[in-house]
Structure 1
């Protein structure tokens, strides 16, 4: 039985794949939110709730909420759920009027990685 030694190139590629995979997985990805993306809610929410794949730093995270007619809606400061560091809660300072809203979010995970995204929902 012959032994075939792996080439140096194969070893380098394998090491690169192993070392970069954890970095890709280390970002906080939005898993679900309330109101849900593309949902139409009957009652205006009192807060936005965003759940991520890993813990987030509330002091470096937040949202911009844009409402009907592209108006920016003032929100309270983002807070992390004391019992679940993957959950970010953004209080709303005023009831939302009927219309379509866009949530532009940005977070810094507990390991320092930044991610951002957006989604829409509507209030009847």
Structure 2
């Protein structure tokens, strides 16, 4: 009987069990680009932007992207090491564009995010791009 209940739960539509996901990031993961003016994230479903954090910062020499992402998410929005500016969009959105400071120097950058999924679960991740 327990096994039948478990199978029935697994047969429910995926949306009931799924968390929000970042479906794409521009610049794309691993891309080598001229200094962008913004980073855009697309989500699998709308997220409440006031409970979401997206930060961009340069990855220092000898630092891993994961360590840089952790620092970026812990930093205050006005921290000088961040190259992202606070987004001006609020409310629910399935896409978020984060403006960047002008004149990014050549090097590796990390895009770090922490979102609150519609079902209440936190979702975090990162992507990287390189400025030539």
TM-score of the alignment, normalized to the shorter chain, above 0.5: yes
Residue matched to 1:12? 5
> Which structure has the larger Rg over C-alpha atoms?
1
Residue matched to 1:118? 126
- Structure 2 SS opposite 1:73: coil
Distance 1:46 1:81, change over 3 A: farther
Residue matched to 1:87? 95
Alignment: residue pair count: 114
2:26 is aligned with 1:24: no
Give the RMSD, CA atoms, in angstroms: 2.6
TM-score by length of 2: 0.71
Which structure has more relative contact order (CA 8 Å, sep 6+)? It is: 2
TM-score by length of 1: 0.75
